[in-house]
Homo-oligomer: A and B are copies of this chain.
Amino acid sequence: MNHLAKIKSCIDSSNDQQLEKYVNHLKFDELLTILNQLPDEEKIKIFEVLGDYLALKCLKMLTPKLQHTIINNIHHQKAAKLLNAMPDDDRTTFLEGLPGRVVNEFIKLLDPEERTSTLKQLGYPEDTVGRLMTPHYVAVKKEWSVQDVFDYIKANGQNSETVNVIYVIDDNGVLIDDIRIREFLFVDRNKKVSEVMDNKFLSLLVTDKEEDTIKVFRTNNRFALPVTDDKSVLIGIVTIDDVLRLAETENTKDIQKMGGSEALDEPYTSISFVNLIKKRAGWLIILFFGEMLTATAMGHFEGEISKAVVLALFIPLIISSGGNSGSQASSIIIRAMALGEIRFSSWWYVMRKELISGVILGLILGAVGFLRIYLWQRFGWYNYGTEWLQVCFTVFFALTGVVLWGTLAGSMLPLVLKRLGADPAASSAPFVATLVDVTGLIIYFSIAFLIMHNTLLAG
């Protein structure tokens, strides 16, 4: 009796023990030859009893369609074991050949760690819904009765992330409705699912951005949303608890970036010193290089300063006022962008609003600055020299200009960064301050020259 006949006889007599013993002692080549000669149902029976190593090896040699048939028909636990044991790249190749709905069935079988790496390799880019979703949901058909739904949940729902919402799919896996479990609780058990359906649902696309997902959840009272691929096939759900955590993580990153460091990506209390310094030093050094331009600019004005040392006194005041108004504006705009209130296309709206804000804020600070010098001089608390009134006016105009410039730069920078594909939150307070410092100095000394070129700065 040859191998094939022996195996056939084991299968026919349902002698699983004998079959197991037999096939696991065959050489890989022999086994593959036999497999190819058997009909699909018998292939499945062999995989059922085959050890993991041989099973994986054989599986790899089959067509994707056959692989699918086998994984889908062998015992659940066995399939899970096989998939989990597959090397990552094999698994990805295997899954990539399958339609979204089927991939999803398989992904359910994976351990959490394997699942993460698989989803990653399946090509859902970072920061997309694909990385956020879970495949553990309950999907039903519209022909089912409500009783069927409850029976199904009882049998299959234990693992699902939430049974609060039940999804209705058609025979192709296309999402056609979502129904809250309460709707089922309120109706007769003999009703068909189609009678409970309202055909209104909100769904996410697997390629949607994570941050947009936060917005969808914030503006709709949903605890979970279904995720589909580009063919509307249901492939997962996103639950709001994950969205809350995501929102907090995104906000943490934004706040850290806006403070002028890289996102730490781990809690302050557990991050190592080396990493903490790494995340902070980078931007500090970049900003320092930017800030070195102030030394260059100041170099150009050394002559002016030596002629009118009084001008030096107000340098910190003027450049800081520009920095402050700039970081105010940038924080407000970054946040409005994160909340989706503002897009790049509304830059002109922002520009006008900030132009007026900048002028008003500039005039207010300019006036206070003017008074500061005026009063100190009048009451003799400090002597700004014979041309003190010119100093007053220089500071007034410089403050107005620098604050206006800071406000405009701070508000436009996040929009420009977004346009360039960068993160708006990178236009941190220190970044804006640095930008404004250099230009602030130029504004200040230019105004001083205009006002004083016949007096203090003459010759």
Contact = CB atoms under 8 A, between A and B. Distances in A.
A277 B353 CA distance: 10
Interface in A273-309: 273, 276-277, 280-281, 283-285, 287-289, 291-292, 294-295, 298-299, 302, 305-306, 309
A330 interface: yes
Contacts of A261: 328, 331-332
A356 interface: yes
A364 B281 contact: yes
A218 B261 CA distance: 24
Contact of A336 (B223, B267, B294, B434): B267
A162 interface: yes
Contacts of A336: 267-269
Contact of A313 (B276, B302, B317): B302
A67 interface: no
Interface string A233-260: 0000000110111011001101110111
A434 B320 contact: yes
Contacts of A222: 241
Contact of A281 (B158, B245, B361): B361
Given A261-B328, A284-B324, A317-B295, A181 B163 contact: yes
A181 B186 CA distance: 14
Nearest to A220: B241
Given A241-B223, A281-B364, A361-B284, A294 B320 contact: yes
A429 interface: yes
Interface residues of A, number: 106
A316 B335 contact: no
Contacts of A163: 181-182, 185
Nearest to A362: B284
B260 A328 contact: yes
B317 A291 contact: yes
Contacts of A341: 267-269
A260 B292 contact: no
A312 B312 contact: yes
A452 interface: no
Contacts of A186: 153-154, 157-158
Interface stretch (A11-19, A33-41, A74-82, A365-373): A365-373
A325 interface: yes
Nearest to A217: B244
Nearest to A349: B269
A284 B223 CA distance: 41
A270 to B, nearest CB: 8
A135 to B, nearest CB: 17
A23 to B, nearest CB: 37
A240 to B, nearest CB: 5
A360 to B, nearest CB: 5
Which of A164, A222, A289 has most chain B Cβ within 10 Å?
A164
A351 interface: no
Contacts of A174: none
Contacts of A255: 251, 254-255, 258, 331, 334-335
A357 interface: yes
Nearest to A335: B255
Nearest to A373: B295
B356 A324 contact: no
A383 to B, nearest CB: 9
A382 B252 CA distance: 43
Nearest to A221: B241
A150 interface: yes
B332 A264 contact: yes
A298 B372 CA distance: 14
Interface in A174-188: 181-182, 185-186
Nearest first, the 6 A-B pairs at minimum CB distance are A259-B331, A429-B429, A294-B316, A324-B430, A268-B336, A298-B313
13 contacts: A247-B247, A256-B332, A273-B353, A284-B324, A287-B321, A288-B324, A291-B316, A291-B320, A292-B372, A299-B313, A320-B434, A323-B323, A428-B429
Given A294-B317, A295-B317, 12 more contacts: A223-B223, A247-B251, A260-B331, A273-B357, A284-B321, A285-B368, A287-B320, A287-B321, A294-B320, A306-B306, A320-B433, A429-B433
